[in-house]
Structure 1
């Protein structure tokens, strides 16, 4: 019989001590093999050896606080189990009845430091650690055991294992995206700003183009003191000029006919650019040729990612030319067409909707089926079905979808009904929606009382419909997020296995881990950007497509739905 020291660990649980790290190595059945204390200064080397030899799944409290320092030291890991993210899933999933006490451990609900601040020095601070979840070995090991038992005792253990693995892979990817950064040409960005806004004003203030537009608006309104950046003050100026709008949204303003409207709309557009991605943003977020935002996996209740700094989940079209590969490297840009409707077809096993999407633009396929006359009508109808629109063109077109795609429509209609009744819905793999608030429940209860006023009843109905629209979309958007995580995780593994040509150019600004590998550089819900040596670009493009197909099979088996990608190989991320 082998000595315990020779047994390969399947899991390694990490916890911090005052002077270093304690590691608990477990076999595939989570039985203890050995415990080790590692000095803090030796952790990266210790992890690198075990990663190379055993390829375990690392179990830790929160990926950013653990994985960031490892990447800085040049150490990359293949797999982990992020206890904080998985706790949030298992705590709320309707698949979990016996939670092994997991729901009582409220300290794992706390927000970690990585999501609370944007400061680089605090984000990956080894000394401070995350805020909230326990970081000692006893606390981490106890939570891991609770989660392991909760999954094993659940009604859908296979789905929850897949979901927690995908969520944890996303946690690694989010840290890697920040570490590698998105290649960004600051000079190109500056040139775009100058061309669009005018020269950067010395000492702050507005660029010349915005000042001129503001002058035109005030002149047209006959109000030399009109404030264009304060919604209440702007509304008063508009009303005084006879423009009786209820808001300053560009959609409502665009419906008005007045000389002040065109320059005002242009001013608002430039103001958004200056605020979101102007020179201040450029100074703060682009360093050494890289944009390094802060991603927050699971930051939205549906499982979609959020951003804690830098605007990671937006990439304005006019700035995409500033995303520029390093010399000798290229970008592979890929986005999936109509992800959520395709996911809806697979979830509901609606063969007719899947047929409309197969090998082509889904909206064009709906037009060819004869339901609607134009692609725009098809898009309005599908989005109305998923978001619960009942008026206008959506209200007119959605009933046609019910006749042609009954299974898909039944799924979202039922999700809406459950939500309106105060129930909880669940994604394909097991992420459940939050329950309604106490205020919501109180409003519904009061509306049924004998002395309820008409206003109380109207409010309750409106709130019920709002919740129904939320749950209707939750099941689709959440499952689409699960597909995207599976796509990312599979693609990450494929990229890591690719061989860098010995005569290829290096990209040292991506950091030591990524300097000799094609790697993910950006992610936005249904789009990825890979930074790759030019010699591997075609191979990467194939990998991106194969990973999408793998993600579809992983979630939906043999159901015949495809996820076609628009894949481009270029020096920049420009879509034009």
Structure 2
């Protein structure tokens, strides 16, 4: 056998079996390991040359390696790959990878890994999945099945790029948890105390208690618990405030002395519940917030979070995201990612020109009869999300005249969805089929004796699905671009030299190296030694250009970034 291109891993209890194979998947050399010998063996294989690790679930394997100070450059995550290939339209309908089975039914389990440390010690158990086959033979069989499915697909190159990017995202998700977000606990507590006040004798922050007392007085209900929606709803109605829910938007439509303190109470109660002192105790250790990311957790391929609320850090707490002494934060986000992706997918040169080197919405104003930037934004969001009334309905026709290729792409996606069909992203992630309930609604509307209500219900369901598929192709391709951006950036950061200034809270791998610390759809935060900050900023820009090239080739489309270097995220 020549130099191995793949290393397939499987586990039987505490025994780990590995198979080294070339890129044909033919000749195999088997090695038996355990948890103590695995990290050193992986480190040796990585240093020997380019190799791709094949395993059932990155969240199960990689965190153990990171704790031992070992990183890998590339992997093939069989769970993530199966989730893509099972529904991919480009894979033949009779391909074995489409059959339901354990690879399709695995579920997330925060305690899946045996003998795992607690969650805040960032073990791979968090985010790992149960129900997955774990043995080597099962991994080899599934890997070969996925390889065959890709080869049989209509566009193997795109599908391989998608699987590589998705697997790279799995690696990065584990690294983000391992390194953590640098977090200033004292600053966080200062924000909480300033907003909420000190904790009173009853355990409620003083500011919340003051607001609750004002709400009770304004509503004439001294026993009201404003945290109880049923109690609050009854109290509001008794006071003559006719509302159907206690949501903030609906409350804001009314004028009453209770409304202002109630809205403020809800805002502060949300802060306390989502990111208060209890959150600090659970999620921040050693100066790091360590959320649990779920790559591909949304059907479009966007990430989700299974712990810590990584995707919902409130703006007022960004000042707690603070670099260690001698380090900096490089904060970068992409301007108008989804509309730019739409231009690339549709090869709409006019929309690409409107976006080139400038604010895309300002470019739309110049290219269309739309008068203002806010209206241009409303129109574009309406086109991508299927808004058909109000300002969106009035403005979208201007986009259809000026950018016909782009608008035809999303309109066609909506039509396919309304008809019950599936659509695919640029690289080949396919939307899930409509569920049986949706199909039942459509069947009832087409049967003899269907009522007007049945027909109306079917039309609404069809429009809803059309709005979903309309946005699926754009949001999913934007997620692919972001994964390509991050995967390339991950490689560039690993090539930068280590620094003398240490950030021990970032763990054994990243304590002296620039590393991604946070990711949210179109934004990344890199924690870097100060002397490398300019190099990191350049790497972030170069990776964005490379992601555009990977997905859209030489189509003249740019993805301008807002890149800032700062000590704290709120200063960027």
Give your verdict on TM over 0.5.
Answer: yes
**1:507 and 2:503 equivalent?**
yes
Residue 120 (structure 1) shift: 5.0
**1:193 and 2:196 equivalent?**
no
Any unmatched runs of 5+ in structure 1?
none
**For 1:210-221, what aligned pairs fall within 5 Å after superposition?**
210-221=208-219
Partner of 1:321: 319
**For 1:426-575, what aligned pairs fall within 5 Å after superposition?**
426-501=424-499, 504-575=500-571
TM-score by length of 1: 0.95
Residue 384 (structure 1) shift: 0.9
**For 1:36-435, what aligned pairs fall within 5 Å after superposition?**
36-97=31-92, 100-114=95-109, 121=118, 124=123, 130-201=129-200, 205-435=203-433
Residue 200 (structure 1) shift: 3.0
Deviations 1:316-369 (A, max 9, x none): 110011011111100000110111111111111111111111111111212223
Residue 482 (structure 1) shift: 0.4
* Secondary structure in structure 1 of the residue aligned to 2:301: coil
Q: Is the 8 A contact 2:368 2:399 kept in 1?
A: no
Residue 404 (structure 1) shift: 1.4
Q: 1:350 to 1:318 in 2, by over 3 A?
A: same
**In structure 2, distance between residues paired with 1:477 and 1:70:** 33
**In structure 2, distance between residues paired with 1:459 and 1:117:** 42
Residue 575 (structure 1) shift: 4.8
Q: CA RMSD in A?
A: 1.9
Which stretch shifts more, 217-226 or 296-305?
217-226
Q: Is the 8 A contact 2:59 2:124 kept in 1?
A: no
Deviations 1:188-223 (A, max 9, x none): 100000000001346x63211111112222222222
* Secondary structure in structure 2 of the residue aligned to 1:269: helix
Number of equivalences: 567
**In structure 1, distance between residues paired with 2:252 and 2:468:** 28
Q: 1:250 to 1:67 in 2, by over 3 A?
A: same
**In structure 2, distance between residues paired with 1:69 and 1:54:** 22
Which stretch shifts more, 175-184 or 382-391?
382-391
Q: 1:414 to 1:295 in 2, by over 3 A?
A: same
Residue 301 (structure 1) shift: 0.5
Q: Is the 8 A contact 1:440 1:463 kept in 2?
A: yes
* Secondary structure in structure 2 of the residue aligned to 1:512: helix
Any unmatched runs of 5+ in structure 2?
none
Residue 19 (structure 1) shift: 4.3
* Secondary structure in structure 1 of the residue aligned to 2:428: coil
Q: 1:107 to 1:381 in 2, by over 3 A?
A: same
Which stretch shifts more, 97-106 or 356-365?
97-106
* Secondary structure in structure 2 of the residue aligned to 1:513: helix
Residue 401 (structure 1) shift: 1.3
Q: Is the 8 A contact 1:424 1:432 kept in 2?
A: yes
Residue 476 (structure 1) shift: 0.5
Q: Is the 8 A contact 1:24 1:32 kept in 2?
A: no
Q: 1:254 to 1:105 in 2, by over 3 A?
A: closer
Residue 375 (structure 1) shift: 1.7
Which stretch shifts more, 232-241 or 77-86?
232-241
**In structure 2, distance between residues paired with 1:384 and 1:51:** 48
Which stretch shifts more, 99-108 or 558-567?
99-108
Which stretch shifts more, 254-263 or 458-467?
254-263
